[in-house]
Amino acid sequence: MTETLSLYLAFPLVRYALIVGVLIALCSSLLGVTLVLKRFSYIGDGLSHVAFGAMALAAVLNLTDNMLLILPVTVISAALLLRTGSSSKIRGDAAIAMISVGSLAFGYLLMNLFSTSSNLTGDVCSTLFGSTSITTLKKEEVILCVILSVLVVIFFILFYNRIFAVTFDEEFAKATGVNTELINLLIAIVIAVIIVLSMNLVGSLLISALVIFPALSAMRLFQSFKAVTICSAVLSVVCALSGMLLSILGGTPVGSTIVAFDAAAFVLCYLIGKLRGGK
């Protein structure tokens, strides 16, 4: 088994995939805690469908670099969705549902009408569930992913205290002079960036799992915000790494293997939490 592994690791493509996977898992788990606590678990799902729609549009328009379209579209949708959550005539969850299914349908329609590919079902399936694309990453994509991940981590560290204040009690933070609108906007932008990055890894249907599972697991075990955040980052990286290795060895689809590991970790944490005193 170790032989097969070292054989695979000799390929730069596989090494790229592992680096990108670990970074994406780290970034997606960081804001997961905030999203779960703010009752925004589903925003990941909604945004990834928006990204799917944008990706279909980019394919139809024959853009060479589809990131140029996907990233801005997703960022704008994220900003709009988080805004409607606080005050609007359409409630947050309804807005997410609307935008999410709307862009999913729109994307599939576009792909059906204009696609030049001979294997349409395969294309759609791989964008939805993630796929081979992680092992066919180009070097530029890896570099882009590394840069964006580093930026996300730096943002999170610098804004950690502000993110905590806004998550725990937005009104108090606003009343005592924290610029909550700006923080919310920044969080929205970062989430959008993370979603677009993770599409390569797990596909747009499974992204929510990457965002919420580590946070929920960590919340079973730890009692302070800092401990929960660190634990969810560690869990997420460990699960992503083991999921990817298993999928290389066993030939299983990458995205669903990682999510299976995340789910198993959650069950484990849940049981440990129960055993420690049924909280």
Partner 1 sequence: MALLTIRDLQTGYDSHTVTPKLNFTVEEGDYLCIVGENGSGKTTLMKTLLSLIEPLGGQILYGGGLQKNQIGYLPQQTMIQKDFPASVREIVLSGCRGRCGLRPFYSKQEKKLAEANMRRMGLEGFSRRCYRELSGGQQQRVLLARALCATQKVLLLDEPVSGLDPKVTEEMYELIAELNREGITIIMISHDIPAAVRYAGHILHIGESVFFGTTEEYKNSEAGRYFLREVEK
Which residues are at the interface with partner 1 (CB under 8 A)? 37-39, 157-162, 164-165, 168-169, 171-178, 219, 222-228, 279
- State which residue, 83 or 162, has the beta carbon closest to partner 1: 162
Cβ-contact 243, 194 below 8 angstroms: no
The C-alpha atoms of residue 63 and residue 61 are separated, in whole angstroms, by: 6
- State which residue, 177 or 251, has the beta carbon closest to partner 1: 177
Cβ-contact 242, 18 below 8 angstroms: no
Nearest Cα residue to 114 out of 56, 68, 69: 56
Least distance from partner 1 to the Cβ atom of residue 188, Å: 18
- State which residue, 251 or 277, has the beta carbon closest to partner 1: 277
Least distance from partner 1 to the Cβ atom of residue 167, Å: 8
Query: Which H or E run contains 246?
Result: helix 225-250
Least distance from partner 1 to the Cβ atom of residue 253, Å: 33
- State which residue, 138 or 226, has the beta carbon closest to partner 1: 226
The C-alpha atoms of residue 42 and residue 155 are separated, in whole angstroms, by: 22
Least distance from partner 1 to the Cβ atom of residue 223, Å: 3
Interior CA angle at 47 toward 54 and 184, to 5°?
A: 125
